[in-house]
Amino acid sequence: MMEEEEFEFAEDLEAILHLTPEVQLAIEQVFPSQDPLDRADFNAVEYINTLFPTEQSLANIDDVVNKIRLKIRRLDDNIRTVVRGQTNVGQDGRQVKEITRDIKQLDHAKRHLTTSITTLNHLHMLAGGVDSLEAMTRKRQYGEVANLLQGVVNVLEHFHKYMGIPQIRQLSERVKAAQSELGTQILADFEEAFPSQGSKRPGGPSNVLRDACLVANVLDPRIKQEIIKKFIRQHLSEYLVLFQENQDVAWLDKIDRRYAWIKRQLVDYEEKYGRMFPEEWCMTERIAVEFCHITRTELAKVMRTRAKEIEVKLLLFAIQRTTNFEGLLAKRFTGCTLTDKRPESPLDPTNPFLEDEPGEDVVTEKDEDLPRKPKAPDNPFHGIVSKCFEPHLYVYIESQDKNLGELIDRFVADFRTQGPPKAGTEEGGAVLPSCADLFVYYKKCMVQCSQLSTGEPMIALTTIFQKFLREYAWKILSGNLPKSSSNSGGLTISSLLKEKEGSEAAKFTVDELCLICSILSTAEYCLATTQQLEEKLKEKVDKVLVERINLTGEMDTFSTVISNSIQLLVQDLDAACDPALTAMSKMPWQSVEHVGDQSPYVTSIIMHIKQNVPIIRDNLASTRKYFTQFCIKFTNSFIPKFINHLFRCKPISMVGAEQLLLDTHSLKTVLLDLPSIGSQVLRKAPASYTKIVVKGMTRAEMILKVVMAPHEPPVVFVDNYIKLLADGNPETFQKILDMKGLKRSEQSSMLELFRQRLPTPPSGADGGPSLSFSAPTPEQESSRIRKLEKLIKKRL
């Protein structure tokens, strides 16, 4: 029974004493041991096998068991001793806690004693300081008072929580009384030294007043402000007398005298009183700032009174001198006194138009009346005086209106005198120089106005810009586009056969084509630059006015000029091809006996294309996208017109249809090569353009293929038509029948059959002539055309 209990106890002990690897490692470090029983991975079986490696060794089992039991008893004794040794720990802890409490009480006593000694020292200092302060105040010993007063105030701060003690409260009231007496006394001393009435001043700075300023730094801030206010008012009293509204020097033409006067006064102040006031008071800057406020008020008053006498040159002269003075202030002072008085400054300039360009600082006769000033964001004094001119900037706006009107008239006169750009010159197809001149002037006006004001005057200037952008578009661009004449008369087939290559000129001359391209390029430049102008104006104007800057209408005007120019180029080439198409429709296609080379009308069309397109492409080299638009618009105009004339070719024989098909394929090839025709640099045509040509000319080829197909049996013919053309319009089918030369009686039955064979449109779809199936792909039709070309070659 004992052995079983020991075994169970061992199992329980093993389960309870399962230690983590970290704890086991710590135990091994503190109590290193080589005994296998102390190992964490102890294995009882291996340990027994170590003790009894053979059967003969079992004879000593009793001795081994006795040794182990002895070891167990020793461990139990050690554990018992350790446990008994812990019974006195609680009592020892209580003793330590009592000692700690006593030490803490001694610490508190020491701290309170130190505080009491410090407070008594402060009280002694405060009492002595108040007595000394009162005595020095009566003797006006401001130098000693300045240092002492600050110390007394600092010491008094330590007694705020003791104000309930009568003696402390009495000392605090004596300090306040001394401060009040000092403020009154110092103000009286300054009033005596700088009386409000009269302009008599002492010969030099006063040491007493200098020390008094140091005392004012410690007193109520209102004392300092009152000293500054009275001194500056007295210092500028002479200015108000000299430049009264009724004085001749008060007008704008003598504005320089105002700024010269303040410069002399500042120099005089620095010499006489510069050391009297503390440097951190910034008295020189304060005098200059107060002068600016007075000047702005006085100028506004005199300009309201004599508003009718303000001319633009006089106004710009005054603004120039004023902004120059503001720039001078920015170089001399930091603007630290403008915290609460600084006027609104313009927006941060990210506008590239504000960057100084080479030669911009050179003053010419044309620019001598323009105001110049430092950039606003670098000048904290911007607008401190010049803001008074803002209500009168309408004079400047009206002047710009007049100047821009004269500029536009000069552009018109120059164009008439110099004529349009000539073909073969650098100017041919280039942007008109007048366009750059206009926007350079716009830039100058915008910069000037933004420096003067970022409010309503900028909106007024924007309105002027809009007005003359439209006038430039109408008078210079649209007004100089060549006028298209009436369509030329038709050509007969005999005249085409007799015509020599290149003998027939295009409707527009080469110079006129160059002019149209030049106007188109100029309109594109104006469109892009107007958009930039709008962005820059929005950057310069006040945020609340940004929504009122809108040049969309002017951009639309230039877009219209571009469209009209492209349309003129298209109409010119289109009209040049009209006689050839008319001749095509008048040819006796029923009498053609064999298929030969391309017809004369095709040669004529290709000749006109080769004459016009290279000129247009070369002159629109800088605006490639608009040349692509020209090609697309011409193709969209020419192909429907070609198909329309194709329907007029009736009746057509089989051979005539084959000849027309060959001609159509030749035109298709030329149109596909249109963007790079006559160019040494081969460039792939845009995919959008190629798609239009392939789609349109494939339809023309399919029309001719239907015409070539036999109309017997009718059902096969109708189904073939529907498959090839995918056109459910009976009128188109009627034109095909006319081209085949069928009689009216045959056409009636064919039309009836056509209506019957049309696919039924899906439910819910609009009943229209279009069919629901897709047309043959360009690749399929190209394969068919190649087969037809082989057939034609065999016949030839």
Residues 557 and 469: beta-carbon distance below 8 Å: yes
User: What does each C-alpha distance from 353 to 161, 360, 446 come to in angstroms?
Assistant: 64, 12, 9
If you average pLDDT over residues 542-558, what whole number do you get? Answer: 91
- The two structure tokens encoding residue 219: 């007193």
Measured at the alpha carbon of residue 795, what is the angle toward residues 793 and 796, in degrees to the nearest 5?
A: 65
Report the C-alpha gap between 728 and 672 in whole angstroms: 28
182-191, 318-327, 345-354, 570-579: which has the highest mean pLDDT?
570-579
Q: pLDDT tens-digit profile of 730-740?
A: 888 888 888 88
Distances (CA, A) of 312 to 194, 212, 396, 435: 43, 51, 6, 26
Please give the pLDDT value at position 554.
Answer: 92
Distance in angstroms (rounded) separating the CA atoms of residues 616 and 686: 17
> Exposed, middle or buried, 188 (CB in 10 Å: 0-12/13-18/19+)?
exposed
Tell me the CA distances in angstroms from 734 to 67, 591, 741, 787, one per residue in order. Answer: 129, 22, 11, 27
Strands (E) located in 164-219: none
Q: How far is CA 296 from the centre of its chain?
A: 36
Residue with tokens 């007048």: 434
Two structure tokens written together for 596: 């030969």
Degrees, nearest 5: CA angle 90-93-94: 90
pLDDT at residue 621 tops 70: yes
pLDDT tens by residue, 300-357: 888 888 888 888 888 888 888 888 888 888 888 887 877 644 444 333 333 333 344 4
> Token pair of 314, please?
């006089």
- Residue 274: which pLDDT band, with cuts at 50, 70 and 90? confident
Identify the H or E element spanning 780. Answer: helix 778-795
Written as one string, the DSSP assignment of 577-596 is HHHHHHHHHHS-GGG--S--
Q: What is the mean pLDDT of residues 497-515?
A: 63
Q: Average the pLDDT over 663-682 and give the result.
A: 88
pLDDT digits (tens, 9 = 90+) for 642-668: 999 998 888 888 888 899 999 999 999
Distance CA 441, CA 468 (A): 12
Of residues 783 and 564, more confidence is placed in: 564
Q: Which residue has the tokens 């803001």?
A: 387
Q: Among 10-14, 243-247, 641-645, 691-695, whose mean pLDDT is lowest?
A: 10-14
* Band of residue 571 on the pLDDT scale cut at 50, 70, 90: very high
Comparing 710 with 779, the larger pLDDT belongs to 710
**Is pLDDT at 524 greater than 90 in this prediction?**
yes
**pLDDT in the model for residue 373:** 38
In three-state form (DSSP H/G/I as H, E/B as E, the rest C), the secondary structure along 440-490 is HHHHHHHHHHHHHCCCHHHHHHHHHHHHHHHHHHHHHHHHHCCCCCCCCCC
Q: Mean pLDDT of all residues in the chain?
A: 76
* Per-residue pLDDT band at 501 (split at 50, 70, 90): very low
- Give the CATH fold of the 386-482+506-531+542-549 domain: Tetracycline Repressor; domain 2 (1.10.357)
Distance from C-alpha of 431 to C-alpha of 416, rounded to nearest angstrom = 17
* Distance between CA atoms of residues 661 and 669, nearest Å: 12
**Residue partners of 619: CB distance under 8 A and separation at least 6:** 428, 429, 513, 514, 517, 518, 521
Q: What is the pLDDT of residue 639?
A: 93
Q: Is the pLDDT of residue 123 over 80?
A: no
- What is the distance between the alpha carbons of residues 663 and 643, in angstroms, rounded to a whole number? 12
Cα dihedral 81, 87, 91, 96 sign? positive
| Mean pLDDT (whole number) for 206-234 | 74
Q: What angle do CA 493, 494, 499 make, to 5 degrees?
A: 100
CA-CA distances (angstroms) from residue 395 to 308, 316, 386, 594?
A: 10, 10, 15, 82
List the domain boundaries for the chain: 16-181, 200-332, 386-482+506-531+542-549, 562-757
| Residue 728: predicted pLDDT | 74
pLDDT level of residue 486 (50, 70, 90 thresholds): very low
376, 346 contact by CB (below 8 A): yes
pLDDT interval class at 359 (50, 70, 90)? very low
Q: Which residue has the higher pLDDT, 385 or 279?
A: 385
Question: For the chain, what percent of residues have pLDDT higher than 90?
Answer: 18
CATH number for the region 562-757 comes to: 1.10.357
Q: Is the pTM of this model over 0.75?
A: no
Q: State the Cα–Cα distance between residues 180 and 560, nearest whole angstrom.
A: 79
Q: What is the arithmetic mean of pLDDT over 160-180?
A: 68
User: What is the pLDDT, as a whole number, of residue 349?
Assistant: 37
pLDDT-based confidence at residue 526 (cuts at 50, 70, 90)? very high
The backbone torsions φ and ψ at residue 237, rounded to the nearest 5 degrees and listed phi first, read: -65, -35
CA 696 to mean position of chain CA atoms: 44
* Joined tokens for residue 247: 């004085």
Residue 770 phi/psi, 5-degree rounding, is: -75, 150
Nearest to 590 by CA among 742, 795, 740: 740
Q: pLDDT class for 151, splitting at 50, 70, 90?
A: low
Residues β-bridged to residue 770 = 727
Q: Does the structure show a pLDDT above 50 at 496?
A: no
Mean pLDDT of 33-42: 73
- pLDDT tens digits, 76-102: 888 888 777 777 666 667 777 777 877
Mean pLDDT for 492-507 is 44
Q: What is the CA radius of gyration of the chain?
A: 53
Check if the beta carbon of residue 133 is closer than 8 Å to that of residue 175.
Answer: yes
pLDDT of 364 above 50: no
Tell me the range of 53-62, 498-507, 680-689, 765-774 where mean pLDDT is highest: 680-689
Alpha carbon distance 553, 473 (integer Å): 12
DSSP 3-state of 230? helix
Higher pLDDT, 26 or 298: 298
Fold equal for 386-482+506-531+542-549 and 562-757: yes
Contact (Cβ atoms closer than 8 angstroms) between residue 294 and residue 228: no
* Between 717 and 56, residue with greater pLDDT: 717
Is the pLDDT assigned to residue 388 strictly greater than 70?
yes
pLDDT of residue 467: 93
